[in-house]
Structures are given as structure tokens and as C-alpha cells.
Amino acid sequence: MTGGGLLVAGTTSDAGKSVVTAGICRWLVRQGVKVAPFKAQNMSLNSFVTREGAEIGRAQAMQAQACRIEPTALMNPVLLKPGGERSSQVVLLGRPVGEMSARGYHGGRQQQLLGTVLDSLAQLRATYDAVICEGAGSPAEINLRRTDIVNMGIARNASLPVLVVGDIDRGGVFASFFGTVALLSREDQELVAGFLVNKFRGDVSLLEPGLDMLHGLTGRHTYGVLPFRHGLGIDEEDGLAVSLRGAVRESAVAAPVGEDVLRIAVCAVPLMSNFTDVDALAAEPGVVVRFVDRPEELADADLVVVPGTRGTVRALQWLRERGLADALRRRAAEGRPVLGICGGFQILGEHIEDDVESRAGRVDGLGILPVRVRFAREKTLERPVGEALGEPVEGYEIHHGVADVRGGEAFISDGRGHGLDGCRVGQTWGTHWHGSLESDGFRRAFLREVAAAAGRRFVPAPDTSFAALREEQLDRLGDLIEQHADTDALWRLIESGAPRGLPFVPPGAPA
């Protein structure tokens, strides 16, 4: 028996598809439904490693958490990791299979992956009562419809009903809803069941006449109006948002425990990857996290983070051009805290030999840490565990660079005195482990060291649980769906598909 399904599409990128998908998943699992998330094709530098060592988008990993299940490669069979304006690394079922230009991908390769995508979805539907799928961008991107495997392409092939989400906070939501439907072919329109308004502020009764008119124009219902709420974003695909920062800042328990706050500056390097590494820092009461791109913005920072990047050599050049490289060297020489994560760790080293990512050959690093990096063609994808600063720590690794540490002390050990990862010299730390700061005890110990080195009377809160904050956030998403969506109608869609006899809205897709 095949489980039910639903495709959550959007009028635009960042309309709220990921959040709505996670909210529907959490609402369903609280009803006792065995549910899984799915996104056929994801373009993101914000990725995660599953237990079996597969790389998928972090949004799907968080949606799996909303479902209270372990994420797997089936949930995001195709991941595109941009390496520049015109090319991306293609990750298929969790493993990189090569670099490809956008023209090459949409010119034929994408359609070749449709079989893998449909097979992955079929396996999930055979295992779960329901699979909630997330689209990408807009389903009405008429220039890409012929090769589409993530929006109406997957909906048509898998007979999925489609719910279109629109961000009313941007304005123009009625035109966006109508135009999205009207630019689809008759066959595609038959699957578009209706709409969901996201990020509404104000009195819903003032919106209702417009929803009635939209129904008259399209023959389709609106399945809910979700109110605007700060701090509800799960791990975003890309961008500079710190997804938990807003929620914690507005929380009644956000006041610092000690006398001082701790200021953290994150260098906004090009092609930044896994910027969510700093979410756990922003979740701490009294910690202020900001992204920076000028050396003067480092002056009052108690800690500077150089994050991961898909373009290590390019990020290194950017740091030099901006004057940030010299500022980082000065900080390190003065004993002021610096943390490099993954690509940021590599940048802090002596030199990089890269014949894989940038093909730049040997490039001098910042020379702050005694580390030499060589890029291997095989990507490291692991979920390690260890110990640091006397506390257990776990994370995940996604990198081509292999570090040869030639001094300092290991940052993370196996708990028996043997180094596992990274390097520390003075108040400069580097590690390949993403997600390590989500380990509560380690994060608190690290922040205490930073505060001491910075001369701040900052005290980490003794009871901040990052995992609990995430669960709370996912429950709030589930509450939004349960309280503000027509859940009976949603379940009928998931179980039975799109209503029959939905009218065609002209003009339809171009010939």
C-alpha cells in the first residue's frame, strides 16, 4: 500500500515552504501519523550528514526531526552545492558525483535523475503513512518546466496534490497565487488543490473578502492563514539568518546570567556553508551574534568565527581584499579569541594545496595555526564523537580538505589523550566538525574560555539545551498548522489527492 502525500510549493523562493512542511510534519506526528519529509532536489550550501554518512540538505534533516525520525538520503536524493555563479557540485543519494554547469544540468542531466527521485519517493511512501514533499522556488518557472523534477514534475509523476504557499508579508500575494496557477498547463493545474497564506499580520477578517474573490477566480480554497511569528525559521537553505537568534532574543529568559554580554562576529565569507553552526551560540542568553564583512567590525568582538565555505581559496582571497585577514592575524597575536570551522579552520593554516575545489594549486593561508591542508578528491562525510575541554562533543564532517597538524594541541580528542580533530594555539581554535557547538556542556565550557580570554564577566546559562529549543521551535510550527490551518481538509488532500473537477485558469502554460 502506498502512503499518502502532499507537495508544498511556493509562489517564490523563501515563501515559507520549508517551515510549512516542517509544521505539517510535526502536526501529523502528534496525531499518531507515521510521516516523513522529502525534497527531490535541493540547492543549498547548508547541509547535514546522516547516520549512514550521506549528505543532505539541513532543512530536510530538521523536517525529519519534526517527524521524530532519523534523516536518510532518500529524503533529499539530489543536492546541488553551488561553487560559483554557474556551477554546482551534484550530490546524488548523499554522495558527490561531480561538478556541473547550470546549463548542463538543466540541459539533460536533471531529467536523467528523475528515476532516482521517483524511486526514493516511492520507497518512502511504501514505508510511511504520509510523505510531505517540499518544492523549490516556484512551480511556475516556465523556462524550467520541461526538465523540472522538484515541483510539478514530481507532482505529475507521483500524483501528488499541491498546496501553494504565499508570503503575504512581501505583498502581492493574491496576484502571486493567481499568476502561479494561470501559468501552469491544464494537467498541472488539476493537481493544484489550493493555497496557504503565510506571515499574515493583522485582522484576518479584513483578508477574507480577498480569499473569497480568489476562490471565485480560481475555484480553489485557501487552506489556512498563518500569522507572522518571529524566530520560527528552521535551518535555512541559504542566507545569513541565524534561525534561533530571533526566538531567543525575544524570549523572557534571554537576559545575561553574568554581568556582561559576549559579542561574537562571524565573517560573512563568500559561499558560506553551514552558517547554522553559530545558531547554538546565538541561543545562549547574553550572547550577541552578528555577521560582518569589514575589519573595524571585529574591534569590539569577544570572539571572531571564520565559518565553513564551499570556496575556501576564494574566501581566503576575500578576507585579504577586505582587510579582514590582517585583522585576524592581529587578533591572534594579541591572544584574542578566534574560531575557524571547516573551511575557516583551513584558512587559518599555513598553506592549502587545492587541485579539487578551486584548482588553484598551492596557496598561502593566514599562518595562524600550524596546519597544512591538501584537498582530496574523495569527500569526508562522517558523524564523529569525542571530547573537548573536558566535555563530550559530537558533530559532522563535510570537507575535501585533509589537515596535517604540525604543532599546537588537538582541539578535540578521543577522551583518552589522543587527538581526533582540529588544532589550538593560544586563543585560536580550529576544527573540521560542524555542529560541535550544539553539545551543551562543550559550548558552555568554550564560552567560559572565550569570556576569560576577552576579560568579560559573562556566565553561560547553566540550563540552556539547544536540542530542547529546537523541539520547542518545531512544536510552535506544529501549533501554527493545528490552530490556523484547515487540518481536516489538509488530511483529505494527503489521503485522497487533489479534488476532482478543479477549473482551468487561463491562459495556462505557454506552448
Query: CA 73: distance to chain centroid?
Result: 15
Cell numbers that stand for 332 in this block: 591572534
- CA distances to 239, 294, 510 from 503, in Å: 38, 54, 18
Give me the catalytic one of 342, 399, 400, 423: 342
Question: Among this protein's residues, is 399 annotated catalytic?
Answer: no
Residues 396, 339 contacting (CB under 8 angstroms)? no
Assign 241 to helix, strand or coil. Answer: coil
Residues 9, 165 contacting (CB under 8 angstroms)? yes
Q: 350-385 burial string, b = 16+ CB within 10 Å, else e?
A: bebebeebbebeebebbebbebbbbbeeebebebbe
Report the 10 Å Cβ neighbour count for 68.
Answer: 14
One DSSP character per residue, 422-433 reads: -EEETTEEEES-
Q: What is the DSSP letter of 396?
A: B
* Strand-pair partners of 101: 87
Angle of helix 312-322 versus helix 324-333 axis, rounded to 10 = 90
Give me the catalytic one of 400, 432, 434, 484: 434
In degrees and rounded to multiples of 5, residue 273 shows phi and psi of -120, 145
Strands 130-134 and 35-38: parallel
Give the Cα separation of 282 and 263 in Å (integer): 10
Contacts of residue 302, defined as CB under 8 A and 6 or more positions apart, other chains included, come to 262, 263, 264, 336, 337, 450, 451, 454, 456, 458
Q: What is the DSSP letter of 409?
A: B
Contacts of residue 330, defined as CB under 8 A and 6 or more positions apart, other chains included, come to none
Residues 243, 236 contacting (CB under 8 angstroms)? yes
Give the Cα separation of 31 and 34 in Å (integer): 9
- CA distances to 346, 367, 369, 429 from 323, in Å: 18, 15, 19, 21
Give the Cα separation of 344 and 119 in Å (integer): 37
Residues 44, 237 contacting (CB under 8 angstroms)? yes
Give the Cα separation of 249 and 433 in Å (integer): 26
Assign 102 to helix, strand or coil. Answer: helix
Which is nearest to 266 in space by CA: 277, 253, 251? Answer: 277
End-to-end CA distance of the chain: 37
Give the Cα separation of 403 and 315 in Å (integer): 18
Give the Cα separation of 218 and 179 in Å (integer): 10
Question: Among this protein's residues, is 25 annotated catalytic?
Answer: no
The residues annotated as belonging to the active site are 342, 434
